[in-house]
């Protein structure tokens, strides 16, 4: 089978490897669509493990199941979660599924940028979700990233009427904007350095946008009727964006750190201001199985317009172009690879 193997953001090669053999509790999935995630092009993180086959936002069709698999059958259309929690450790039992050690060590093989992948037994047990009949494969690639956004806004306790600033209007930022709108947020503001992305933010629900080169806290306050925002969601990895977010939230407000920085970056927090003003600083990584189910329902109900976010559908042999589009943060939103054509 063909795979797109990552060596660097500028070096993605289409290579041949054997179709994976499956064990008694495993399954083989034909990958029909796979999204390129912003995390796939975080070169500082990925290149130390290269070469490898990336891709975790997938939708496909079950080709074969092992003899011990009884819940699924060949021909079913599925989303498969690459990282899955154990559901039994102290983290899972307290609702912190994305802190689970099992979640951080599981994956499917070889990756979503391949014609076929092997789903390990543990993932078969708790990481396979049958797609609704009216959900396309393309829509299915949004299940994982939207689940992460669902978790983020859940832990941030977004409530109807709250003002929200989304700092960074790439793919995850646009999903945050669209979900906040669907959940009834009040004023939704967005920032970015790219005019293309700011225009996209307005299309997907932002009431106003701010060029990140401006005095962002002052502009957000001005656009929010003279008050800082209730919730600032950081969707860009630059330290300056985190600092802007800290300066943009109202008393009792929350800063949700949805994006990481490069290793070794330290964020200076004004402790007295946090103490006096009751500001909450939260991280959010990944999504739980429950968040995945919510994401499926949101996409199925068309509450989040994911189809309109797809700007490029590329065959596997153009994976290099797809990586360049996403890494360059150019005029693209969601880039999909279609290993079997489309």
DSSP-assigned letters across all residues of 177-219: HHHHHHTT-SSEEEEES-HHHHHHHHHTT-SEEEETTS-HHHH
Tokens 């951080």 found at: 104
Q: What is the pLDDT of residue 260?
A: 93
Structure tokens at 166: 């989304």
Answer whether residue 44 shows pLDDT above 90.
no
H-type helices in 15-108, by residue range?
43-46, 90-93, 101-105
Going by pLDDT thresholds of 50, 70 and 90, the confidence category of residue 329 is confident
pLDDT recorded at residue 128: 98
Overall average pLDDT of the 97-104 stretch: 95
Domain range annotation of the chain: 2-147+287-338, 157-283
Query: Residue 342 has what pLDDT?
Result: 66
In tens, the pLDDT along 166-180 reads 999 999 999 999 999
- Model confidence pLDDT, tens digit, residues 281-302: 999 999 999 999 999 999 999 9
Band (205; pLDDT cuts 50, 70, 90): very high
Give the pLDDT score at 341. 82
Going by pLDDT thresholds of 50, 70 and 90, the confidence category of residue 156 is very high
pLDDT higher for 44 or 280?
Answer: 280
Distance CA 318, CA 87 (A): 38
Q: What is the DSSP letter of 19?
A: P
**Residues 52, 3: Cα–Cα separation, whole Å:** 10
CATH code: domain 157-283 is 3.40.50.720
Which residues, 6 or more positions from 70, have their beta carbon under 8 angstroms from its beta carbon? Answer: none
Contact 97, 83 (CB under 8 A): no
- The helix (run of H) or strand (run of E) holding residue 8 is strand 2-8
Is the pLDDT assigned to residue 135 strictly greater than 70?
yes
Mean pLDDT (whole number) for 74-79:
98
Ranges of H-type helices in 58-142: 90-93, 101-105, 121-126, 137-140
Same fold, 2-147+287-338 and 157-283: no
Judged by average pLDDT, the poorest of 2-6, 162-166, 266-270, 318-322 is 266-270
Residue linked to tokens 């990756």: 111
- In terms of C-beta density within 10 A (0-12 exposed, 13-18 middle, 19 or more buried), how is residue 125 classed? middle
Residue 129 reports pLDDT greater than 90: yes
Q: Given pLDDT bands bounded at 50, 70 and 90, which one contains residue 134?
A: very high
What's the mean per-residue pLDDT of the chain?
96
Burial 173-193 (b: 16+ CB within 10 A, else e): bbbbbbbbbbbebbbbbbbbe
Q: Say what the pLDDT of residue 241 is.
A: 97
Tens digit of pLDDT for each residue in 80-95?
Answer: 999 999 999 999 999 9
Q: Does position 77 have pLDDT exceeding 90, yes or no?
A: yes
The two structure tokens encoding residue 281: 């600083």
Give percent above pLDDT 90 in the chain: 94
pLDDT given at position 273: 86
Instruction: Assess contact for 315 and 321: CB atoms under 8 A.
Output: no
**Is residue 196's pLDDT more than 80?**
yes
Q: Quick one: average pLDDT of 307-330? A: 94
CATH superfamily of 2-147+287-338: Medium-chain alcohol dehydrogenases, catalytic domain (3.90.180.10)
Query: Does residue 96 carry a pLDDT above 70?
Result: yes
**Which tokens in the block code for residue 311?**
């700007």
Question: Which residue has better confidence, 262 or 198?
Answer: 198
């Amino acid at each position: 089978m063909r795979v797109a193997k990552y060596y660097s953001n500028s070096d993605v090669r289409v290579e041949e490897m054997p179709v994976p053999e499956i064990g008694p509790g495993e399954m083989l999935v034909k990958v029909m669509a796979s999204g390129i995630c912003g995390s796939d092009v975080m070169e500082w993180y990925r290149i130390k493990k290269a070469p490898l086959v990336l891709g975790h936002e997938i939708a496909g069709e079950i080709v074969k199941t092992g003899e011990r698999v009884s819940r699924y059958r060949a021909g079913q259309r599925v989303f498969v979660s690459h990282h899955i929690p154990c559901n039994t450790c102290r983290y899972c039992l307290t609702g912190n599924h994305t802190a689970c050690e099992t979640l951080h060590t599981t994956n499917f093989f070889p990756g979503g940028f391949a014609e076929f992948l092997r789903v390990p037994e543990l993932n078969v047990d708790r990481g396979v979700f049958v797609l609704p009949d009216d959900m396309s494969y393309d829509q299915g690639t949004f299940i994982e990233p939207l689940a992460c956004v669902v978790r983020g806004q859940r832990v941030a306790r977004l409530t109807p009427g709250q003002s929200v600033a989304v700092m960074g209007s790439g793919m995850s930022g646009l999903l945050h904007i669209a979900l906040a709108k669907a959940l009834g947020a009040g004023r939704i503001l967005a920032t970015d350095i790219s005019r293309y992305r700011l225009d996209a933010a307005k299309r997907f629900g932002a009431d106003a946008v701010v060029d990140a080169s401006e005095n962002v806290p002052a502009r957000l306050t001005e656009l929010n009727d003279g008050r800082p925002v209730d919730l600032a969601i950081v969707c860009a990895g630059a330290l300056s964006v985190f600092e802007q977010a800290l300066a943009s939230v109202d008393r009792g407000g929350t800063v949700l750190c949805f994006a990481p920085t490069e290793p070794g970056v330290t964020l200076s927090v004004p402790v007295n201001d946090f103490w006096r003003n009751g500001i909450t600083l939260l991280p959010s990584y990944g999504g739980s199985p429950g968040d995945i189910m919510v994401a499926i329902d949101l996409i199925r109900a068309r509450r989040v317009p994911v189809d309109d976010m797809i700007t490029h559908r590329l065959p596997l042999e153009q994976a290099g172009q797809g990586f360049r589009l996403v890494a360059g943060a150019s005029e693209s939103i969601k880039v999909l690879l279609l290993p079997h054509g489309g």
